[in-house]
Structure 1
Amino acid sequence: MNNIIDKKWAYRELGKTGIGLSPIGLGGWQFSRGKGAAIGVWGMLNQTKVNEIVLNSLGGGINWFDTAEAYGMGQSEEALAEALKQAGIQPGECFIATKWQPTLRFASSIKTLLPMREGFLNPYKVDLYQVHFPGLFASIDAQMDNMAALYKEGRIRAIGVSNFNASQMRIAQKRLNEHGLSLASNQVRYNLLDRQIETNGVFETARELGISLLAYSPLGMGILSGKYQRNPEYLQQVPFIRRKSIRRALEKSMPIIAKLSEIAGRYSADIAQVALAWVIYGQGDTVFAIAGASTPVQARENLKALDIKLTTAEIAELNKVSRF
């Protein structure tokens, strides 16, 4: 995997796991085949297109993929597995992250439902198993106890959470420490339009505890690509739920887009590539980006961000214009 391209960037460690991942991973929400949490958010992608998106991502140096039970109730996992098989990737040659859905469930289902995730991903295993959000029926301690049991059985390689606040991260880390383990990651929303993790304690806690942050929506659902500002008619092609969110954020994004465009010109890059570079390099090695792609070209173009090493001054410029 590491020899696919002659890359100018380095893999970085996921938490304290010793596992090296590309700073950008491919998100699989859009592979949900229009089902589950994708309804009204993503359109349909046929398997041929999924195969091409995954192949282009691999060719650009990506070595990990993020999906979830909620993404089509297994449809995204199944589509990803098929694409990896078509690309000739053998089990163990890439890193797969998926998530347990806690809605109306007790923590014991983390263990009992793992075979379902493995079934959809067959022949690939779950490397990073994540709690999709804290949930109401399962304490964080119980969640981590079940995750720790799977880790000790050799069923998973790392333990993660998603959408946890700072205090919840500390609870999870403390419980895993009691098992001699550590929390690898917290998957959170982070982009130039949403920097809450810098002020609500999540980023500070992650750095203190050695937990990686996996940034979802790093382009603000496409707003930070500049395409909707350049061509407002594109908005009518977007599924209705995403359309509403995008429309609300467009005005707020204009100064950021202007600055991204200015910096992109210095690198002969696209606006989206600079926005992704800010996510993965603006905070050292703490933040990884989960970049979605609905076309093969987009998948390949996203990865050019890996080679854009923004200067300290450029990062400061973007920080200033995006601080609200």
Structure 2
Amino acid sequence: MSTVPHQNGSYTPAPDRYETTTYRHCGSSGLMLPPISLGFWHNFGDQTPFERMRELCFTAFDHGITHFDLANNYGPEPGAAERNAGRILSRYFAHHRQELVISTKAGYTMWPGPYGDLGSRKYLLSSLDQSLERLGLDYVDIFYHHRPDPDTPLDETMGALAQAVSSGKALYVGLSNYDGPTLRKASEILDELHVPFIINQNRYSIFDRTIESNGLKQASRKLGKGIITFSPLAQGLLTDRYLHGIPEDSRIRADGRFLKESALTPRRLGQIKELNDLAGQRGQTLAEMALAWLLRDPDVTTVLIGASKPGQILDNLKASANTDFSQEELDRIDLISKG
């Protein structure tokens, strides 16, 4: 795939950007997503140079990544990722909005006081209005409730999602960090309200199998809902990055909020080494194998990656080249990761 040079701040997308990507239906819906989606969680806050953020978006779109995933609280500071994405979208993608799927979320703390967190109707709809303003958009393609709120009636939260769609401010809705039983109850409410609920966003990786045990994966399959996985590389543990110490430019050193040095136990390092050896036998890097392990799963619609450099996006895209695993390889991965 060729990439059109970007000169003088202008951007012309690569003309062959769709030729090597096979898009997947999001559950039983009509919406298709690329196998790899670009997340704005870590690297689109104000600490990242604007030029770097711009190049990440250019590289993604040039290679068929049409889905950009955000949330109201992504930064740092909260709101910064949406604000920076809005600048990029308005300057470079205004003529390509119809080719993009833009998603955002609300559910975690966004502003102080009782109305800036969790799952109330007031919070969700107020947050969506603010997200649209920061993004400079009339609508988002997918609006998620970011996490369950046991202290707000599920009818109220789902009703707010229904209002987001009926008002034209969202085309589809999604749920994030729900378990199977709560997903089923929410889906029943949304069906009664005729809301196009199509996708679940959950943490899933070789090292984190929670959705296999809490019913989310099985419920999504039965109900015909897509799954988008976040943290597919376990915050960088499912790479060869930490096999020989902790690099100074690593996430642990640069941003210890989500991955701490204490995670690198001797047991975990041993697992990483064994998985890295298996990936080498497959002709892949560990990161490629970890993504391919997810992409081989028919229940997974798309895998959400983060990137601090354009080259990381290109490296991650290589995972799609080999998503076939023998049963022996799958059993070996299970034994290593659960042992």
TM bucket, shorter chain = 0.7 to 0.9
User: Who is 1:38 aligned against?
Assistant: none
Task: State the secondary structure of the residue aligned to 1:226.
Answer: coil
In the alignment, which of 10, 21, 27 is matched to residue 15 of structure 1?
A: 27
8 Å CA contact retained: 1:160, 1:184 = yes
- Deviations 1:257-280 (Å, cap 9, x if unpaired)? 334333433454321111111122
1:308 Cα deviation from its structure 2 partner: 1.9
8 Å CA contact retained: 2:176, 2:201 = yes
8 Å CA contact retained: 2:43, 2:307 = no
Alignment of 1:102-117 (within 5 A): 103=109, 104-105=114-115, 106-117=120-131
CA RMSD of the aligned region, Å?
2.4
User: Who is 1:83 aligned against?
Assistant: 88
Aligned residues: 312
Cα distance change of structure 1 residues 57 and 262 upon mapping to structure 2, 3 Å threshold: same
1:183 Cα deviation from its structure 2 partner: 2.6
8 Å CA contact retained: 1:27, 1:65 = yes
The whole-number CA distance in structure 2 between the counterparts of 1:189 and 1:280 is: 14
User: Who is 1:61 aligned against?
Assistant: 64
8 Å CA contact retained: 2:295, 2:323 = no
1:239 Cα deviation from its structure 2 partner: 2.0
Cα distance change of structure 1 residues 240 and 285 upon mapping to structure 2, 3 Å threshold: closer
- Deviations 1:197-238 (Å, cap 9, x if unpaired)? 111211111111112222111100011112011343445633
Task: State the secondary structure of the residue aligned to 2:268.
Answer: helix
Structure 2 unaligned segments of length 5 or more: list them: 1-12
8 Å CA contact retained: 2:148, 2:177 = yes
User: Who is 1:280 aligned against?
Assistant: 295
The whole-number CA distance in structure 1 between the counterparts of 2:171 and 2:196 is: 11
Alignment of 1:105-144 (within 5 A): 105=115, 106-123=120-137, 125-144=139-158
Runs of 4+ with deviation above 4 angstroms: none
The whole-number CA distance in structure 2 between the counterparts of 1:31 and 1:258 is: 27
The whole-number CA distance in structure 1 between the counterparts of 2:274 and 2:294 is: 15
- More helix per residue: 1 or 2? 1
User: Who is 1:40 aligned against?
Assistant: none
Percent identity (aligned):
27
Alignment of 1:1-324 (within 5 A): 3-7=16-20, 9-33=21-45, 44-72=47-75, 73-88=78-93, 90-101=96-107, 103=109, 104-105=114-115, 106-123=120-137, 125-234=139-248, 237-244=253-260, 246-281=261-296, 283-313=297-327, 314-324=329-339
Task: State the secondary structure of the residue aligned to 1:310.
Answer: coil
Task: State the secondary structure of the residue aligned to 2:307.
Answer: coil
- The alignment's TM-score, normalised by the length of structure 2, stands at 0.83
- The alignment's TM-score, normalised by the length of structure 1, stands at 0.87
Query: Counterpart of 1:113 in structure 2: which amino acid?
Result: S
Structure 1 unaligned segments of length 5 or more: list them: 35-43
Larger radius of gyration: 2
Cα distance change of structure 1 residues 124 and 108 upon mapping to structure 2, 3 Å threshold: closer
The whole-number CA distance in structure 1 between the counterparts of 2:38 and 2:265 is: 25
The whole-number CA distance in structure 1 between the counterparts of 2:19 and 2:282 is: 19
The whole-number CA distance in structure 1 between the counterparts of 2:81 and 2:235 is: 18
- Deviations 1:116-168 (Å, cap 9, x if unpaired)? 11111114631110011112553221111121122233321111111111121
8 Å CA contact retained: 2:86, 2:135 = yes
**Which stretch shifts more, 232-241 or 145-154?**
232-241
